[in-house]
Structure 1
Amino acid sequence: MKNIPDRFGIATSSIAVVLCWFAIDTIVAEALTPKPQPFAQELARAEPISGASLADWTAKAALRGDLVGDIAMARAAPALNRGTTAETPEKAAARQRALATASASLALAPHSSAMWLLVAMLSSRTQTEASVAAVLKMSYLTSSSDANLIPTRLAVLSLSPAIADPELRSLLRSDIRLILTRRPDLKAAIAGAYRAGSAEAKAIIDEDVRSIDPGFATSLL
């Protein structure tokens, strides 16, 4: 019985040390992680990450999937920038590194719709149509009505062979209806997806828009 206070003291001291380390790690991770940027099909080029390896390690050690996701976004910018269409070795390496970081973010925060969408964008060149379709569905399932993601989701899906998937076609239609009925400020996203999309995407967009807003449908042509 005499040892109980000593054991309690050791336990509480150990917990205090762990909590202190966790707090310091979180502060360092937040300081090193790039600032979040708005999600878009072509991400803004971020400044090089200061202490990239340390930022990675501290964010993962703090179990902060959101911070790991911010690092993934910064790393994805060079790979997703469409200024050059050729897939150079540097661009391919950036794509793979960003994909690995985004996957690590999802391991910590599987509810992140933005990260599922980023993984779909990064893997579109290397994965099968079925794999990309499955990832895109996860982006919808985790947050189907996130207005910040709808423009990019429309743009990505309208260009992807995965649009052949019946479930994704239905989800695309849901986004279109949401914009036309509740978020008319996002109509430019529909126009952009229509103009850049595949023939199949154009047909779906035209049909849905024409059934709800014939005037806007005319402007797409």
Structure 2
Amino acid sequence: MISTPISMRAHAIVAIGIVTAMLSIWWLAPLTVRNAFVARLGIIRGQLWLNEGQALTQKPGASETEMQSPFRIAVTLGPANSEAWFALALATERNDWIDGRATAALKMSYYTGFNVTALVAPRLELLVRTDLVRDPELRDILTRQLRVILTRAPDLKPAITAAYASATEINRRFIESELADLDQAFLDTFRSNH
């Protein structure tokens, strides 16, 4: 007789444990699923804000603040989106000499997607319009980008030519010195065309 109540207690404890575990799973599973869903939704929303910002850049009469706002939201929602960081850098380029926001956004674009092929040429053109003399980090980024183009992506060499055309005089000299170290033959061809 004594074994029956102990057996009933054991069964009750096991039943309570099972119910508690099931309730925990029932309450926690939606949070995990919800977090994943919200994260995916944030990335999608970030891309939508990026698209909105790009549409605003085509709109005549849009103010700088109007154009920058969607890109700021896009990088907040998708901080690993190098295209969004690049778009923010372009939108803030005009006042970079005042606050350095374009330079910071350009760096983030490189950090989040250095080898994104579609961004190599336009980012390189923006990079050579920045103040490379004041910012050794940007000089390092330029050196690495040139090295990658010359060693691993020679089909992107026209991007170097286009960037050189839009570079400041000081930055042109920097590009020439880097090309002399990396690929003298390309530099010779490059100089004969300019």
User: TM-score scaled to structure 2, two decimals?
Assistant: 0.71
Superposition CA RMSD, Å: 3.0
Instruction: Name the structure 2 match of 1:143.
Output: 113
Count of residue pairs brought into register by the alignment? 161
Cα offset for 1:171? 0.3
Instruction: Name the structure 2 match of 1:118.
Output: 87
One-letter code aligned to 1:74: A
Relative to structure 1, the CA distance from residue 124 to residue 162 in structure 2 (aligned partners, 3 Å threshold; closer, same or farther) is: farther
Flag the structure with larger Rg: 2
* Identical counterparts, % of pairs: 28
Q: Does 1 or 2 have the higher relative contact order (CA < 8 Å, sep 6+)?
A: 1
Alpha-carbon distance in 1 for matches of 2:109, 2:133: 14
One-letter code aligned to 2:51: D
Instruction: Name the structure 2 match of 1:66.
Output: 47
Alpha-carbon distance in 2 for matches of 1:77, 1:110: 24
The structure 1 segments of at least 4 consecutive aligned residues displaced by more than 4 Å after TM superposition are: none
One-letter code aligned to 1:198: T
Map Cα deviations across residues 59-96 of structure 1 (whole Å, 9 max, x no partner). Answer: 87x962112212222222357xxxxxxxxxx25x1x32
Map Cα deviations across residues 119-151 of structure 1 (whole Å, 9 max, x no partner). Answer: 111111124253322222111111122121111
Segments of 5+ residues of structure 1 without an aligned counterpart are: 1-7, 27-58, 80-89
Instruction: Name the structure 1 match of 2:56.
Output: 75
Relative to structure 1, the CA distance from residue 218 to residue 160 in structure 2 (aligned partners, 3 Å threshold; closer, same or farther) is: same
Alpha-carbon distance in 1 for matches of 2:104, 2:73: 18
Superposition pairs of residues 121-200 of structure 1, within 5 angstroms: 121-127=90-96, 128=98, 130-161=100-131, 164-200=134-170
Alpha-carbon distance in 2 for matches of 1:145, 1:63: 22
Relative to structure 1, the CA distance from residue 193 to residue 69 in structure 2 (aligned partners, 3 Å threshold; closer, same or farther) is: same
Relative to structure 1, the CA distance from residue 63 to residue 145 in structure 2 (aligned partners, 3 Å threshold; closer, same or farther) is: closer
Cα offset for 1:159? 1.3
Alpha-carbon distance in 1 for matches of 2:108, 2:153: 23
Segments of 5+ residues of structure 2 without an aligned counterpart are: 1-22
> Which structure has more helix as a fraction of its residues?
2
Instruction: Name the structure 1 match of 2:67.
Output: 98
Alpha-carbon distance in 1 for matches of 2:82, 2:105: 10
Cα offset for 1:162? 5.5
Alpha-carbon distance in 2 for matches of 1:71, 1:162: 31
